[in-house]
Amino acid sequence: MKKLRMTFLNSEGKKHNLEPRLAATNLDEPTVRTAMESLRDLALFEKDDVKLYVEVKGAKYIETIETPLFEDEV
């Protein structure tokens, strides 16, 4: 399984990650950066008076490998 993790700095300078549920697994850097900058520029997301997406920090794909041990038949 491959998912996109976008990392921003919040208004306190702390990292804040965003992992969209539906993201293509072949996006390039300019596409992701542009999307992240657009999200940042909206300035819509805040929690406890802290703006969550203030500065674009980076993005990466995270891959996990699932190894089934068993599956009961129904």
For 15-42, the pLDDT digits (tens) are 999 999 888 999 999 999 999 999 999 9
Classify residue 21: in a domain, yes or no: yes
Residue 58 tokens, joined: 């980076």
User: Could you list the residue range(s) of the whole structural domain that residue 33 is in?
Assistant: 2-63
Region 47-73: what's the mean pLDDT?
Answer: 93
Q: Nearest CA to 43 among 19, 14, 8, 5? A: 8
Question: Residue 71 falls within a domain, yes or no?
Answer: no
Average model confidence (pLDDT) across the chain: 93
pLDDT-derived band at 60, boundaries 50, 70, 90: very high
In the chain, the percentage of residues whose pLDDT exceeds 90 is 85
34 domain-assigned: yes
Domain total of the chain: 1
pLDDT of residue 33: 97
Q: Report yes or no on 74 lying in a domain.
A: no
